A and B are shown apart, each in its own frame.
Chain A
Amino acid sequence: MSNNTRRHFITKTGALMGALLAAGMISGSAFAADFPTAKVNTTKLAVTDTTVKVGILHSSTGTMAISETGSIQAEKLAIAQINAMGGVLGRKIEVIQEDGASDWPTFAEKSKKLLVNDKVATVFGCWTSASRKAVLPVFEKENGLLFYPTFYEGLEQSKNVFYTGQEATQQILAGLDWIAKEKKAKTFYLIGSDYIWPRTSMKIARKHIEQKLGGKVVGEEYIALGDTQFGSVINKIKLKKPDVIYAAVVGGSNVAWFKQLNAAGLNSKKQNMLTISVTEDEVLGIGGENLEGFYSAMKYFQSLKNPNNEKFVAEFKKMWGPKSVIGDVTQAAYLGPWLWKAAVERAGSFDVDKAAAALPGYELKAAPEGYVKVDPNHHLESKLRVGKWLANGQAEVVYESELIKPDPFPKGYQ
């Protein structure tokens, strides 16, 4: 063997070994061998040696598409990132996306399709409470797993659902405490859209204002969904002169509400307002100039300053365009796939019962919103922030609470 050939041989072997090593490190199959499919999947889910199927169930058409598009994008981003890291238990995530079309029976039907026909290991989805209530019996009967991203009214807990947004007391109490102290507010005017979430939230808010803060509710008003005429309501507010307007108006009404408030001379210089229904997504439609100086109580704002969030915002924009904005629910939706990955890896199994049982107690430190912890009641322990809206459509975070434990069935507030 001449020197020349020998060198050639060594190079060749080295390359081969390198390739083998790389294959072992990057491709999931070697890793997945530690978790044989028969062992990690005893309930006939769509899990193979190399892939696992999951569902995304949101409205990409209909009225709710406005809100749910952000959640779809966030979930896809998280899944792409997880796949780039090697997937879950060495298996690449394959997404089956279904459209709930803003129609609650459609949500129920599609969830059944995902669980029964496709046998997905988990579903990330739903946005409105109505859609969640529609799919809940299906998930409980077929024993599926759902990660639900929206802040909502509470009064629910299921072994098949993890709630990655805040429940009502987490979002309401700390915010009211803050504004009562900061603005020395005594009188409150409650206004919301006419459906379950605002009504339950206002019930909690009223109890808190009257019993804990010693304040007074001078008006409580609900607007039909989609109504765009606020003239009479605004005049009533002007007559009552509340220290704070506490608002949970949603959808198309939201934009009309802020535009007309401003046009009637009630801007942030004359009136304090704390809202629990405006995120960066809504601001796009409302226009920053109509909101400037008003406050929102949320657990996440795009402008949060921490390394996790800066990375998240940058990668979100890289994937979905530099103009995209990220609201509270979008961030909560982003947590879903990561929490599911943690659940499966802690359980060492894709089985729904095992994964769901393994998740409580898990601490997700890399969340864009900062630290969150999964509570035994399937909600997240998280902080509340109050953001002051700026003309450019972003919020300046002016208050951050301590970590708040979730309490979906609050005593004394029902």
Chain B
Amino acid sequence: MFDYSMAEIGNIVVMQAFSGLSLFSVLLLMALGLAVIFGQMGVINMAHGEFMAIGAYTTVFLSKVAETYGIVNYYFLFAIVIAFIIAFIIGYLVEFALIRHLYKRPLDTLLATWGLSLVMQQIFRSTFGAKEVSAVLPEWLMGSFQPTPDIDIPINGVFVLGLALVVTVGVYLFMFRSRWGLRVRATVQNRVMAGAVGINTKKVDRVTFALGCGIAGVAGAAFTTIASTGPTTGSLYIVDSFMVVVFGGAASIMGTIASAFGIAQAQSILQFFMTSSMGKVATLMVIVGILMMRPEGLFASKVRK
């Protein structure tokens, strides 16, 4: 490490710090939708990754449309909104057709949604083909921002970070500052009582599930800037998503944020000093260790059981 000048080390520290933040934002975006569904409803949604793929495919499709009309520079923000809406609608239908029959058997939701994920993967494959596709990105999302000639901050990373913050604040406001959020929290705390005071708990469930799926769609759209999209893209994300949510403590949005931050920083730093795969192994060991001591995760929920 000491063959390098102070300036070089300084530059790397800056870029490395950003790479940690960037990984944090990716993990956070992945996990937020799941935190809403798993944390608030207790539904183990194995098809979470496929809802991300819906968002990603929406973006890819819109990018092709934008390309034919020559408006590639403007479509991306619009694509994120459409990705949210489409994933929201499909989530709404899935809740209606499948999930609502399984609320009393939470472990069965695992099997049912896993089956759903396989079905969705095959639908993607039949519709969009087996090959991986990439969205055409607008000029302004490509390349890097250079405060000095030796520091490169990837612009897509900055964008994903910004988006993660916006979505997190949005979820926070929705859950803790709106009437809807109040109803969701009431249903989580005591379903029967919430029903008794006139909350339509079924409707609350449906909207909560759809919202989680919508957020997954946004995440999927954002990830087209860093990776490609294929029928099985979703399965790449599902393990990390669950890891973040479980480690953070299932029912807590704050826990999800803290856990995404902790995992991202640990992984990013360890991967720099060890090899990439060893860094990941070490991170997982730490998580397992902490979960053994705190099985409820970092932020234990104070839900009345």
Contact = CB atoms under 8 A, between A and B. Distances in A.
Nearest to B223: A228
Interface in B254-305: 267-269, 271-272, 275-277, 279-280
B276 A233 contact: yes
Contacts of B269: 232
B193 to A, nearest CB: 43
**B-side interface mostly:** helix
Nearest to B231: A65
Interface string A233-252: 11110110000000000001
Contact of B275 (A66, A222, A289): A222
Contacts of B231: 65
B252 interface: no
Contacts of A222: 275-277
A137 interface: no
**A-side interface mostly:** helix
A284 B132 contact: yes
Given A62-B232, A256-B227, A285-B228, A231 B23 contact: yes
Contacts of B55: none
A255 B134 contact: yes
Interface stretch (B89-97, B138-146, B181-189): B138-146
Given A221-B275, A264-B154, A265-B152, A235 B230 contact: no
A90 B78 CA distance: 60
Interface in A255-277: 255-256, 259-260, 262-266
B40 interface: no
A296 B275 CA distance: 25
A286 B134 contact: yes
Contacts of B154: 260, 263-265
Q: How large is the interface on A (under 10, 10 to 19, 20 to 34, 35 or more residues)?
A: 35 or more
Contacts of B249: none
A266 B143 CA distance: 9
B236 A285 contact: no
A285 B132 contact: yes
B143 A265 contact: yes
A259 B22 CA distance: 14
A226 interface: yes
A43 interface: no
A281 interface: yes
Interface string B202-243: 000000000000000000000101111011110110000000
Contacts of B20: 231
Contacts, number: 129
Interface in B69-115: none
Interface string A206-245: 0000000000000011111011110111111011000000
Interface residues of B, number: 49
B250 to A, nearest CB: 24
Given A229-B26, A236-B272, A284-B132, A265 B227 contact: no
Contacts of B8: 239
Contacts of B267: 229, 232
A231 B22 contact: yes
A48 interface: no
Identify the interface centre among B133, B155, B276: most chain A CB within 10 Å of its CB. B276
Contacts of B155: 263
B4 interface: yes
A404 B111 CA distance: 52
B16 interface: yes
B39 interface: no
A42 interface: no
A63 interface: yes
B166 interface: no
Contact of B268 (A194, A228, A232, A264): A232
Contacts of A256: 226-228
Nearest to A256: B227
Given A65-B125, A263-B144, A263-B157, A228 B227 contact: yes
Contact of B142 (A223, A263, A285): A263
Contacts of B23: 229, 231
B173 interface: no
A199 to B, nearest CB: 11
A252 B275 contact: no
Nearest to A223: B276
A69 interface: yes
B156 interface: yes
A233 B131 contact: no
A265 B142 CA distance: 10
A170 interface: no
A122 interface: no
Given A65-B130, A259-B134, A263-B156, 5 more contacts: A69-B131, A235-B19, A238-B12, A262-B143, A285-B228
8 tightest A-B contacts by CB? A231-B19, A285-B132, A265-B152, A263-B154, A255-B228, A65-B130, A232-B271, A256-B227
8 contacts: A63-B230, A65-B130, A226-B236, A231-B16, A231-B18, A264-B144, A284-B132, A284-B134
Interface of B: 4, 8, 12, 15-16, 18-20, 22-23, 26, 122, 125, 130-134, 136, 142-144, 146, 152, 154-157, 223, 225-228, 230-233, 235-236, 267-269, 271-272, 275-277, 279-280
